[in-house]
Amino acid sequence: MTQTLHIALAQVNPIVGDIPYNLGKIRKTRDEAPDSTDLIVFPEMVVCGYPPEDLVLKPFFMDEVQRAVDALAKESKGKNAALIVPAPWKDGEEIYNALHFIHDGSILATRTKRHLPNYGVFDEQRRFKPGPLPEPVTFKDIKLGLMICEDMWYPDAANYLKQQGAEILIIPNASPFDSKKHDIRLHLAQARTDQTGLPLIYVNQIGGQDELIFDGGSFALDHAGTLTTRMDQFKESLDYIKLNRGEDGWRIEGTQNLPPPLQEQEAIYSALVLGLRDYIAKNDFPGLLIGLSGGIDSALSAAIAVDALGPDAVHCVMMPSQYTSKESLEDAKEQADTLGVKLDTIPIEETVEAFGSALKPLLDENTPATTFENIQSRTRGLLLMALSNASGKMVLSTGNKSEMAVGYATLYGDMCGGFNVLKDIYKTQVYEMARWRNQNNPEGTSGPDGMVIPERVITKNPTAELRDNQSDQDTLPPYDVLDDILTCLIEQDMDVDTISKRGHKRELVQNVWKMLDMAEYKRRQAPPGVKITSRAFGRDRRYPITNHFMNIIEKSAT
């Protein structure tokens, strides 16, 4: 009877759709594992990357996945280590989210995901059929209980596996990051060990996939729910655990000096860096273009860009108008010098005047001032996109979640770009993160230590500098007030009365809600960006553009 089991936890970063690349990662991990390794566990859908979305509806895509799994099975002949290789799988006309247990030249078992998430960013029920409760897989006379990701969030699969004699629970995952999720995963895993008395191994994907970030942080718990292994977040890595059979079941040998989970600010910043780095790398862009204004949002975006890609891949452009202050010019240059990035200056005053002259016959004294303000923003967007066409570099949009929420952003102007790293970061968080980055430099970044964002950028009043003496608070409430209301509306779905009880005037709450609804058409045209919160704009939050529900709220209050 087997007395010890050596398991490798492969926390890897696949690319969606790049099956040869992903196969290469699987093979490299397999071939470099010590001879003593009995089992290597890979994350959910590692063969094709997660989430594959409607790729699984293409028959020839599924054929390629099957060929890849079959190749891994043939290659396993004569090798000691078995593989748990998750992949989408077609059985007849049905498609499943599945895993394959591969060993000694064949697929010993296939298990399918029972609980298909269909909330937030997930819509697995659109593509996959739920599987039955999973049966244990016997390997080296050990009954292994294999579940896939969401199946750990419910008690039925773990209970059933325990009833069928499972001795160890193993869970491949592709669980996206949000800033509050780390403890939730751990507590859910501990609930499964509490109910079964079995050790549990949790292997999570890392990497960026469009707006989703997978943060890794794989771990193992002993039968009592005690953490025995924890892997780093936001890093590809391989860890090994040893289990010993005792009289009362399997026990995991504990790892000394477990790395602590990242504090929230560092975790968010690391997610932004990883998300931007992978978006650029996986989409084969040669670098980034950033409109560096001397303001806080572009300053933080530039710091993240350099941390993600290094200074040589980041090209900043200052585009001053007649309203651009001397301080903004100085701050932008100071930051560019500190970061070591190229900074070019393209004055836009003459270009804006040319647009004004062309439009003059069609405008009059009643034309709203925003018409002329937005010409400045759109001129900058046009210039950046021209430079993008010329160089192939991607324009990084720099708006934050507060601005995107209330429409304080110009379509085809500052919203131009292929990606927005601050899309799910509120304005108050932008300031907090800028201060944090000036005092910290997370491991694995390419930027310099010390103050990378000039202090004056952080302390001066926020302004778009599109007219004389402009301030964001000419149009918006103070950002601490605005962000609290927006968090209540977006992440927590509170009603007006509940938000008002937090100390906000009812009329202000209604106005913010109205701005939020009216800006939906803009957000539909915005670039993707890194998801950080439990409800990011995009696939996480789906509201109709044509929407009169706010009218009912206003009428009910009168």
Active site residues: 44, 113, 149
Torsion angles phi and psi, residue 314, rounded to 5? -120, 125
Tokens of 99: 């895993």
β-strands 212-215, 219-221 pairing: unpaired
Residue type, 30: R
Count how many Cα atoms sit within 13 Å of the Cα of residue 168 in the half-sphere of its side chain.
28
CA distance 8 to 170: 11
Count how many Cα atoms sit within 13 Å of the Cα of residue 137 in the half-sphere of its side chain.
22
- Starting from the edge strand earliest in sequence, which strands make up the sheet with 219-221, in order? 137-139, 142-146, 168-173, 200-204, 219-221, 227-230
User: Beta partners for 100?
Assistant: 85, 110
CA distance 220 to 257: 14
285-295 CB burial, b ≥16 within 10 A, e <16: bebbbbbbbbb
β-strands 227-230, 219-221 pairing: antiparallel
CA distance 27 to 15: 15
Count of beta carbons in the 10 Å neighbourhood of residue 1: 6
